[in-house]
């Protein structure tokens, strides 16, 4: 007789083991390692939040403290490898295998550990892809999640940093997995129910808030004239002609500069209402002046950003907020929105090769992908039309009859020809290829593939890859915006001029932009303090950004 309910029985058994340490649903911190040893099993698939921003830090520390003789060979499935403890579990033999998406803060150590064979790598995913696999073949058996507070029934308030929690709990709890939440405190009544108590088995009262990385705050004081120039090029050379209203900005100074140029440069070009009205975006402080000036209709957020809570709550017409007034973010839905409901992704990268592939992997650092492969991909399942989508599709494929010709999402890679440490953005061979060989990966970890990239913007100009017809076109178009790098200096000058005539390459002067006009005075806010002022005092920047 086949037993078809073993997982439910397994859950009941773990739950009973855990109950021995709990009062109701609450487990005291002091008992955490023993509790975890009781409810985990060797080889379990465990999701430890590990989001892009919020971290279940108390649970991470406790997990790294379990006895590896009892709990070992865990398979970690989590979006973000952010805390040192996320890698300590591998060092100690508590965990063996890893599937993840993003590892920014741990990029150097994770590289060392992967090369050293301390981690068995499943794959590096994009967020939405990993979330999808939570429902197919990477379903967590135990989820260790982070929430703001809980009531005694286990109803959770996740608040502005809701992020991945709903999708993690959905996949885990409904497949007989165990859900353990850390909260700052247990209250009589939560401000709103983000996760129903039915889905939560145990709660740990941490007595302090979960850790959050401030990732999306860019100090305008650090913005350079070159970044402002690339922002002007993007606005006048792409946003305006395509009429981009629905979009996502990847993280970085170039996009933050674009946000700060909307109320000034964008206004002078008469673009208000015609571009940048709807965003899938984290609450960037640099978007505040544009919001205040009436550019933005709405923003859906993947997560929150430290210091933005009061501003968001006061702008509920713009942001998604709950009945309690605070932001509700949701990475899975935001990633879906970015995939299908946005007409453009624009973001920066570390390396672009001569075919147009882009990657952030370097020889010694593995930062993962985050959302970029998803946001920066052309969704072939899309069926609704929009002006930019149709225009890009026509440029890419003028031969096909219009009614059978799908549009294209604009995928823009923006950056300076020389990045940090004066390293060239353009390279002959991506470091990612070397990494793939070293780790014996099936695929080199490419962030955005060449056939998805539609435009490259540098301070030298814009390369429109949609208008390229063959490999030579591609190569010279890329060389033609690669500035004074080795790649750029090796260009075929005659070919580049012809590409310029075809408008495959557009220089600042072709767009009526004088690079000398790329002046910091164009920024709607030139300091964090300016942004605070713009928000009417509602934005409260983290301490590291203060100069008052």
Partner 1 sequence: MEKLSFQFKTEKPAGGTRPQALVGVVASGNLEVLLERVLPTDACSIDIATAAHGFGTVWQAVVADFVSRRAAGGLRISVNDGGARPDTVALRLAQAVRLIEEPEA
Partner 2 sequence: MSVTATHNAGNLSWYEASARQRVAALADAGSFIEFIGPEQREMSPHLAVFALPEQFDDGMIIGSAKLDGRDVLVAAQEGRFMGGAFGEVHGAKLTGLLRAARTLKRDALILFDTGGVRLQEANAGELAIAEIMRALIEARLAGCKVIGLIGGRAGCYGGGGLIAGCCSRLIVSEQGRLSVSGPEVIETNRGIEEFDSRDRALVWRTMGGKHRYLIGGADILVDDEAIAFREAASAALRGASGFDLAVLTAEQQRLEYRLERFGAMRDAVDIWTGLGIAEPASLPELTTEDFLQQVQGKREAADDAR
Which of these ranges, 109-117, 181-189, 203-211, 414-422, lies near partner 1 under the rule CB under 8 A? Answer: 414-422
Give which of partner 1, partner 2, none residue 483 binds (C-beta under 5 to 8 Å, depending on kind).
Answer: partner 1
Contact between 521 and partner 2 by CB under 8 A: the answer reads yes
Kindly state the tokens that stand for 492: 């075929």
* Residue 149 C-alpha from the chain's centroid: 25
Give which of partner 1, partner 2, none residue 264 binds (C-beta under 5 to 8 Å, depending on kind).
Answer: partner 2
Contact between 416 and partner 1 by CB under 8 A: the answer reads yes
Instruction: Indicate the helix (H) or strand (E) that contains 433.
Output: helix 431-439
- Cα 525 to Cα 289: distance, rounded to the nearest angstrom: 7
DSSP 327: B
Nearer to partner 1, 225 or 297 (CB): 225
Whether residue 151 contacts residue 120, with contact meaning beta carbons closer than 8 Å, is answered with no
Contact between 225 and partner 1 by CB under 8 A: the answer reads yes
Nearer to partner 2, 75 or 236 (CB): 236
DSSP 20: T
Q: Which of 395, 500, 517, 538 binds partner 2 (CB under 8 A)?
A: 517
* Dihedral sign for Cα atoms in the order 451, 453, 457, 461: positive
Collapsed DSSP state (helix, strand, coil) of residue 211: strand
Nearest to 512 by CA among 205, 132, 310, 236: 236
Contact between 526 and partner 2 by CB under 8 A: the answer reads yes
Contact between 320 and partner 1 by CB under 8 A: the answer reads no
Burial (Cβ within 10 Å: 0-12, 13-18, ≥19) of residue 511: middle
Give which of partner 2, partner 1, none residue 547 binds (C-beta under 5 to 8 Å, depending on kind).
Answer: partner 2
Which of these ranges, 186-194, 224-232, 295-303, 362-370, lies near partner 1 under the rule CB under 8 A? Answer: 224-232
Q: How far is the CB of 548 from partner 2 (least distance, A)?
A: 5
Q: How far is the CB of 223 from partner 2 (least distance, A)?
A: 11
Nearer to partner 2, 262 or 411 (CB): 262
Contact between 460 and partner 1 by CB under 8 A: the answer reads yes
Build a one-symbol-per-residue string for 189-228: x at contacts with partner 2 by CB under 8 A, - elsewhere.
--------------------------------x-------
Give which of partner 1, partner 2, none residue 225 binds (C-beta under 5 to 8 Å, depending on kind).
Answer: partner 1
Buried residues in 62-94 as b, exposed as e (16+ CB within 10 A): bbbbbeeeebbebbbbbbbbbbebbbbbbbbeb
Which of these ranges, 46-54, 133-141, 238-246, 518-526, lies near partner 2 under the rule CB under 8 A? Answer: 518-526
* Residue 508 C-alpha from the chain's centroid: 30
Q: How far is the CB of 491 from partner 1 (least distance, A)?
A: 11
Kindly state the tokens that stand for 1: 């007789």
Three-class SS of 43-74: CCEEEECECCCEECHHHHHHHCCCCCCCCCCE
Give which of partner 2, partner 1, none residue 537 binds (C-beta under 5 to 8 Å, depending on kind).
Answer: partner 2
Nearest to 476 by CA among 459, 455, 492: 492
Q: How far is the CB of 418 from partner 1 (least distance, A)?
A: 4
Contact between 510 and partner 2 by CB under 8 A: the answer reads no
Q: Which of 394, 418, 433, 449 binds partner 1 (CB under 8 A)?
A: 418
Which of these ranges, 5-13, 110-118, 328-336, 481-489, lies near partner 1 under the rule CB under 8 A? Answer: 481-489
Q: How far is the CB of 227 from partner 1 (least distance, A)?
A: 10
Contact between 543 and partner 2 by CB under 8 A: the answer reads yes
- Cα 406 to Cα 383: distance, rounded to the nearest angstrom: 8
Nearest to 103 by CA among 79, 76, 122: 79
Whether residue 368 contacts residue 109, with contact meaning beta carbons closer than 8 Å, is answered with no
Whether residue 503 contacts residue 467, with contact meaning beta carbons closer than 8 Å, is answered with yes
Q: How far is the CB of 222 from partner 1 (least distance, A)?
A: 11
Q: Are strands 358-359 and 351-352 parallel, antiparallel or unpaired?
A: antiparallel
Instruction: Indicate the helix (H) or strand (E) that contains 179.
Output: strand 178-183
Give which of partner 2, partner 1, none residue 459 binds (C-beta under 5 to 8 Å, depending on kind).
Answer: partner 1
Q: How far is the CB of 545 from partner 2 (least distance, A)?
A: 8
Q: How many CB atoms lie within 10 A of CB 278?
A: 18
Contact between 313 and partner 2 by CB under 8 A: the answer reads no
- Cα 128 to Cα 136: distance, rounded to the nearest angstrom: 13
Q: Residues 227 to 286: which contact partner 2 by CB under 8 A?
A: 263-265, 268-269
Q: Which of 162, 304, 386, 417 binds partner 1 (CB under 8 A)?
A: 417
Nearer to partner 1, 417 or 476 (CB): 417
Nearer to partner 2, 405 or 507 (CB): 507
Build a one-symbol-per-residue string for 419-448: x at contacts with partner 1 by CB under 8 A, - elsewhere.
---x--------------------------
Burial (Cβ within 10 Å: 0-12, 13-18, ≥19) of residue 235: buried
Nearest to 508 by CA among 151, 228, 214, 115: 228
Kindly state the tokens that stand for 17: 């083991």
Contact between 224 and partner 1 by CB under 8 A: the answer reads yes
Whether residue 77 contacts residue 130, with contact meaning beta carbons closer than 8 Å, is answered with yes
Rg (CA), the chain: 24
Give which of partner 1, partner 2, none residue 189 binds (C-beta under 5 to 8 Å, depending on kind).
Answer: none
Residues that bind partner 2 (CB under 8 A): 221, 263-265, 268-269, 512, 514, 517, 519-524, 526-527, 529, 537, 543-548
- Could you list the residues that contact partner 1 (CB under 8 A)? 224-226, 416-418, 422, 459-460, 483-484, 489, 515-516, 518
């Amino acid at each position: 007789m086949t037993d078809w309910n073993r997982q439910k029985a397994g859950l009941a058994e773990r739950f009973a083991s855990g109950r021995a340490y709990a009062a109701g649903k609450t487990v005291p911190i002091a008992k955490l390692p023993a509790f975890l040893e009781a409810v985990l099993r060797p080889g379990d698939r465990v999701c430890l939040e590990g989001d892009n921003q919020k971290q279940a830090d108390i649970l991470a520390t406790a997990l790294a403290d379990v006895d590896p003789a009892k709990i070992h060979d865990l398979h970690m499935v989590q979006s973000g490898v952010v805390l040192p403890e996320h890698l300590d579990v591998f060092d100690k033999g508590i965990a063996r295998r890893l599937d993840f998406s993003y590892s920014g803060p741990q990029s150097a150590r994770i590289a060392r550990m992967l090369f050293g064979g301390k981690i068995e790598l499943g794959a590096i995913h994009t967020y939405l892809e990993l979330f999808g696999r939570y429902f197919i073949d990477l379903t967590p058996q135990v989820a260790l999640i982070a929430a703001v507070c809980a009531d005694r029934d286990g109803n959770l308030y996740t608040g502005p940093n809701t992020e991945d929690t709903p999708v993690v709990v959905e996949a885990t709890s409904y497949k007989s997995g165990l859900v353990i939440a850390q909260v700052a405190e247990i209250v009589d009544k939560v401000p709103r129910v983000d996760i129903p108590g039915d889905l939560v088995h145990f709660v740990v009262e941490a007595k302090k808030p979960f850790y959050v990385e401030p990732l999306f705050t860019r100090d305008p004081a650090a913005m350079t004239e070159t970044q402002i120039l690339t922002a002007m090029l993007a606005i006048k050379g792409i946003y305006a002609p395509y009429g981009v209203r629905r979009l996502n900005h990847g993280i970085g100074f170039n996009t933050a500069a674009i946000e700060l140029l909307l109320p000034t440069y964008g206004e002078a070009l008469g673009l208000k209402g015609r571009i940048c009205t709807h965003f899938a975006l984290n609450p960037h402080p640099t978007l505040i002046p544009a919001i205040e000036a009436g550019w933005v209709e709405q923003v859906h957020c993947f997560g929150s950003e430290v210091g933005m809570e009061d501003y968001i709550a006061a702008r509920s017409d713009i942001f998604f907020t709950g009945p309690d007034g605070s932001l509700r973010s949701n990475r899975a839905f935001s990633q879906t929105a970015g995939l299908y409901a946005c007409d453009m992704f624009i973001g920066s990268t570390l390396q672009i090769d001569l075919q147009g592939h882009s990657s952030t992997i370097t020889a010694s650092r593995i930062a993962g992908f985050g959302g970029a492969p998803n946001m920066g991909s052309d969704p072939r399942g899309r069926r609704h039309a929009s002006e930019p989508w149709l225009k890009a599709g026509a440029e890419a494929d003028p031969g096909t009859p219009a009614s059978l010709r799908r549009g294209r999402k604009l995928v823009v890679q923006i950056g300076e020809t020389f990045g940090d440490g004066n390293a060239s953005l353009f390279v002959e061979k991506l470091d990612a290829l070397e990494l793939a060989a070293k780790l014996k990966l099936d695929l080199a970890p490419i962030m955005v593939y060449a056939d998805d990239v539609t435009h490259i913007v540098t301070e030298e100009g814009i390369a429109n890859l949609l208008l390229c017809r063959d490999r030579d076109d591609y190569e010279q178009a890329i060389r033609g915006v690669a500035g004074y790098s080795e790649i750029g200096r090796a260009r075929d000058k005659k070919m580049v001029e012809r590409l310029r005539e075809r408008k495959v390459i557009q220089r600042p002067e072709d767009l009526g932009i004088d690079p000398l006009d790329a002046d910091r005075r164009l920024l709607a806010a030139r300091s964090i303090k300016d942004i605070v002022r713009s928000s009417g005092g509602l934005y409260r920047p983290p301490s590291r950004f203060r100069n008052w």
